[in-house]
Structure 1
């Protein structure tokens, strides 16, 4: 649901990223939390002896963190005439969310709360579509030649 909202908002608004900064931050921090959810899933797969599945979940977690950082960076850079900030500038904001998402999911598993587990993983799964689009967009941008300053 959030993915659909985000994509629709990005399509046609005069605000940076198509929505108020507060909403962008909320969604970005959700991606930060999901990064931790995927980290927990990676740990669980490692414990089950599934190293390739563990690596895949870890990579999805890195993608979620990258999406969070990208959203925060673009929101700031499009809404300011001041100093532009790199994605890494926002890591101190996202990293605690990643850790809390990891810890929360592991606590759900400890309590054997299948309903809460399904809810958390399901929510993060809903966000994967936009995450994939964001990562692909970042990859494409990295392949584009830098703008020439010579005229």
Structure 2
């Protein structure tokens, strides 16, 4: 067994399809890199970060690479995740935890957002773009 696991941290959602897609991504990363991948979430979904780290340590992994799947270094990246990692280091002092950088803004993500915006505009009654705004909210949109 490889002694290193990859912990993927997502924000979390209450949308079952979103959670399933996230787990599918983790499985693809695991298959591609031949490394055990443990997905977890900051909030709204299970497992939370601490529980996922505990599972990796209990399974015998001695090193943990932590990768936040977040777009930018905001509060979760700068505060919430480091707090969870400090708590885990206290519980598992022999576990080496390496913390990676956020994804950052990537062209494919911006393209996906633009495509979804275009699809939403195409499905909506015509409104001049100068009279519209794009609001991003963590609440699930119907």
Q: What TM-score do the two structures reach when normalised by structure 1?
A: 0.25
Greater fraction of residues in helix: 1
Which gives a bigger RCO, structure 1 or 2 (Cα 8 Å, sep 6+)?
A: 1
Greater fraction of residues in strand: 2
Q: What TM-score do the two structures reach when normalised by structure 2?
A: 0.26
